Structure 1
Amino acid sequence: MASIVERPKKGGDSTFQVKWRQDGEWQTERFGDPDSAKTFKGLVEAHGNQWPHGWIKGLGFVEPDTHPDDVPLLDFAHRYVDRLTGIDSRTRKDYKRDIDNHFGGFRYTAPDGTVQRLGALAHRPARGGPPLPATICNVTQDDVTDWVRTQEDGITDPADPSKKVRRKARPKSIANRHGLLYCVFQAALDAATPLRADNPCAKTKLPRQDDGIVEEMCFLEQDEYLRIGTELRAIDPFAADLCDFLVGTGLRWGEATALQVRDLNLRSNTINVQRAWKRQDDNTFRVGPPKTPKARRLLILSDSQMEMLRRHVAGRSPEDWIFRGRDGAAWRHSNFYKRKWKRALDAAVVKGLTKRPRLHDLRHTHVSWLIAARIPLPAIQVRLGHESITTTVDRYGHLVRALDAEIAAAVEVAMSVPAPAGLRVVETA
């Protein structure tokens, strides 16, 4: 174990000496403040009472902390993802795709035929020189910041600076990629023999997400949805029923289209959400559990919804899909979007609709209608199947304006309560 010894100086100040035994010999390093000494003591102990790799006595880390077992960042990141538990094969594949395309950069072919990687996370030495390939040990906080900035700005075509070969990434996308990178470095930090002394992602300032998330959502008023629904019903009444159900329940597409006849309770007017479609590595789909544990939920349905569902389940077997195409198979998002939704949307736009919502925006629209009806956010969280109320508040809290008048009135009442009898204002000269 290392120790810290305070060494008073003649002028009244003190230095702080870290002492420890390494291979039977005393080793020391001095610092001007106790916090730095405490941090260094932790590094020494984390390295098995050895000098931290890359530390030069009296100078500190001239280059980032390195380790004899240092490995390329991409290799370590792939091993990290391979060892993750509790995720499906599709998620694992998506993580690896992000590692290769965003940590390792994307493949760019120059006009002369040469191939290079652009936008990769790399290490830029403090003393200058060309960037070095990123390893699990040499990446610094500055390197991560530079990588984030590159994603914020987009990547310019080396052959034509007026063009971008990769557009600016959305703040949410950057946050997701940075979160994966953080976990990779944290795994190196938490290893039985730590490969690093710190996580270079810990203090990264990410772009604000609130400027873009509202724009990404599209909320429809009732009359706007009616415009689309009218066009959709003229194209395919069964497709219109599905969209009415989506906007009326807030279910995700993969949840609604995975509903089976046995999930409907005709006596209690409820639908039981127990499964959802999952994309596989080969881009096929299979039925699996919903997105989160709390996404398994029981939803109460209105009388009109029940009437519509009774028509769909009449004469069907318990395992049949409630919403299905003409061949009896479950709807696929891409087919439904192209053949039904887009056609109806285009027709509505021609007739004056000013928005182009996605199918998923029916879920957002459902929430906006509930908030307008003053349904509390915790109840909306349960209905949507969000794992945390934080998710609901972050996504939809900006819509909660319907109670402004009531809040102002409540404050006014609270502040206008008369003082209890017997209390008098004492006048001072």
Structure 2
Amino acid sequence: MAYIQERPQTNGPTTYQVRWKEGGGRHGPGQSERFDDPDAAENFKKLVDAHGQHWPYGWVKGEGFVEQPKTPGDQPLVPFAERYVHRLTNVDDRTQDDYEREIRLHLSLIQHTEPSGHVVPATVCNVTKDDITDWIHAEKSGQPDPSDPKKWLRKPADPKSIANRHGLAFCIFQSAIEATPQLRTTNPCKGTSLPRTDDHVDEEMTFLEHAEYQRIADEFTDPDARDLADWLVGTGMRWGEATALKVKDVNLNGATPTVSVQRAWRRSKKGSDSAFHLGPPKTKRARRVLRLSPTQEAMMRRLTAGQWHEAYVFRTVTGKHWRHANYYNRKWQPAVKAAVAKGLPKSPRIHDLRHTCASWLIAARIPLPAIQRRLGHESISTTVDRYGHLLSELDDDIAAAVEIALTGPAPKLRVVPAS
């Protein structure tokens, strides 16, 4: 809460200074405004309290309320962002819900700091690159609970979440640039420095050696659960893709056995009868056809024999598709814990089977573009960003190739006789 401090002057009347912590937090920067009249100081104190321990909107330090020039068409940022998300036609309902949540909980924290240092609510037009940088710092730092330093009112965000939210903000401001009439001429998110996604001690991804995966696989007591794990690590398919495979997606009649990825489990909109529903794969390139190895072909023949074409390939004992929570808690975790108890030094997630598949392909000298197509990445940059560091395993081959190029016999030059 703001408070008033009397400041007696040696050669003049007493002044009254309103003091408070920006935002009300214990660690917020100190703010103050000076008045000659105690009633004016009291009124300003009430304004600060009413604005949540922020400068009253439109107030300029030392001058009072000053009407700010407005850009034609300018409007508060949050309602504009919500309308932008609502009008997206290339995302499903659940994704729209997630975007709206990000706006409500995180993009709403964006504020504009005026040249005078006063902080005012963000609008479509007043946000600057410095404001976005301040917001990123606020996301990274979080907000401690003033009443308990061990708790958080808002936990620090991880670099990946910050990058995702920054990407959403970029698109929102870009829509203001492309609007008719144009609301902005520049995107304040462009060129912003983001926290490094690898700025952490523990690895986000766990890669298993062949023998390490085998130690986990040997702990499965349910052969149906083991089949699914073998399939995930052998194909690199996402969980939602593999568990959505149907018998009709498997082609074993031609010379080249294949499976076709045509659908995946997607989160349903909040309030729906079911938490998940079948929809298209994650991206356009995720809709792909995978060639099977002889071992995978044998598995498909065993699992699809005599089954209805609409049946799921990977099924529980009751004939239903696997649900992630059920598989993770009853099948995957017990197998991993048993392997760890016997000396396995890693505790992988189910999704790490996809990363493991990629690492095995890289170790086998498979080119990254081929791995991109196999995994269904939309862009080769995704493949490089996630798995490019594993290419260090090829350093010996690269060094040998360079050595041959530098020390081998020089190519003979063809001499063309003068005419």
TM-score by length of 2: 0.77
The 2-side partners of 1:220 and 1:99 are apart by 38
2:407 paired with 1:416: yes
Q: What residue is the counterpart of 1:228 in the other structure?
A: 216
Q: Give the C-alpha shift of residue 214 in structure 1.
A: 8.0
User: Please, which runs of 5 or more residues in structure 1 have no aligned partner?
Assistant: 1-61, 105-119, 423-429
The 2-side partners of 1:370 and 1:306 are apart by 19
The 2-side partners of 1:202 and 1:64 are apart by 26
Secondary structure at the counterpart of residue 400 of structure 1: helix
**How has the CA–CA distance of structure 1 residues 220 and 419 changed in structure 2, closer, same or farther, with 3 Å as cutoff?**
closer
Within 5 Å, which residues of 2 pair with 1:21-170? 66-104=70-108, 120-129=109-118, 131-170=119-158
Within 5 Å, which residues of 2 pair with 1:175-214? 175-212=163-200
Identify which of 224, 229, 236 aligns with 1:238.
224
Secondary structure at the counterpart of residue 340 of structure 1: helix
Identify which of 320, 336, 340 aligns with 1:345.
336
Q: Specify the code of the residue in structure 2 equivalent to 1:288.
A: G
Q: Give the C-alpha shift of residue 126 in structure 1.
A: 1.9
The 2-side partners of 1:421 and 1:286 are apart by 65
Do 1:258 and 1:277's aligned partners in 2 also have CA atoms closer than 8 Å?
yes
The 1-side partners of 2:68 and 2:207 are apart by 48
Q: Give the C-alpha shift of residue 245 in structure 1.
A: 0.5
Secondary structure at the counterpart of residue 278 of structure 1: strand
**How has the CA–CA distance of structure 1 residues 214 and 100 changed in structure 2, closer, same or farther, with 3 Å as cutoff?**
same
Secondary structure at the counterpart of residue 210 of structure 1: coil
Do 1:218 and 1:357's aligned partners in 2 also have CA atoms closer than 8 Å?
yes
Do 1:189 and 1:196's aligned partners in 2 also have CA atoms closer than 8 Å?
yes
Q: What residue is the counterpart of 1:28 in the other structure?
A: none
Q: Give the C-alpha shift of residue 69 in structure 1.
A: 2.4
2:261 paired with 1:278: no
Q: Specify the code of the residue in structure 2 equivalent to 1:74.
A: V
Do 1:65 and 1:138's aligned partners in 2 also have CA atoms closer than 8 Å?
no
Secondary structure at the counterpart of residue 99 of structure 2: helix
Q: What residue is the counterpart of 2:19 in the other structure?
A: none
Do 1:253 and 1:360's aligned partners in 2 also have CA atoms closer than 8 Å?
yes
Q: Give the C-alpha shift of residue 239 in structure 1.
A: 0.4
**How has the CA–CA distance of structure 1 residues 419 and 218 changed in structure 2, closer, same or farther, with 3 Å as cutoff?**
closer
The 1-side partners of 2:186 and 2:378 are apart by 30
Aligned length: 344
**How has the CA–CA distance of structure 1 residues 75 and 408 changed in structure 2, closer, same or farther, with 3 Å as cutoff?**
same
The 2-side partners of 1:361 and 1:136 are apart by 41
**How has the CA–CA distance of structure 1 residues 390 and 64 changed in structure 2, closer, same or farther, with 3 Å as cutoff?**
farther
Percent sequence identity over matched residues? 58
Q: Specify the code of the residue in structure 1 equivalent to 2:115.
A: A
Q: What residue is the counterpart of 1:378 in the other structure?
A: 369
Identify which range, 362-371 or 323-332, moves more after superposition.
Answer: 323-332
Q: What residue is the counterpart of 2:309 in the other structure?
A: 318
Identify which of 359, 362, 366 aligns with 2:353.
362
**How has the CA–CA distance of structure 1 residues 65 and 260 changed in structure 2, closer, same or farther, with 3 Å as cutoff?**
farther
**How has the CA–CA distance of structure 1 residues 139 and 266 changed in structure 2, closer, same or farther, with 3 Å as cutoff?**
same
The 1-side partners of 2:402 and 2:340 are apart by 44
The 2-side partners of 1:256 and 1:388 are apart by 21
Q: Give the C-alpha shift of residue 340 in structure 1.
A: 1.1
Do 1:278 and 1:288's aligned partners in 2 also have CA atoms closer than 8 Å?
yes
Do 1:89 and 1:280's aligned partners in 2 also have CA atoms closer than 8 Å?
yes
Q: Give the C-alpha shift of residue 63 in structure 1.
A: 11
The 2-side partners of 1:225 and 1:125 are apart by 57
User: Please, which runs of 5 or more residues in structure 2 have no aligned partner?
Assistant: 1-65, 414-419
Q: Specify the code of the residue in structure 1 equivalent to 2:76.
A: P
Deviations 1:124-149 (A, max 9, x none): 222133x3222112222221111101
Deviations 1:317-343 (A, max 9, x none): 111000011221111111111111112
Secondary structure at the counterpart of residue 324 of structure 1: coil
The 1-side partners of 2:276 and 2:206 are apart by 27
2:267 paired with 1:263: no
Q: Specify the code of the residue in structure 1 equivalent to 2:265.
A: W
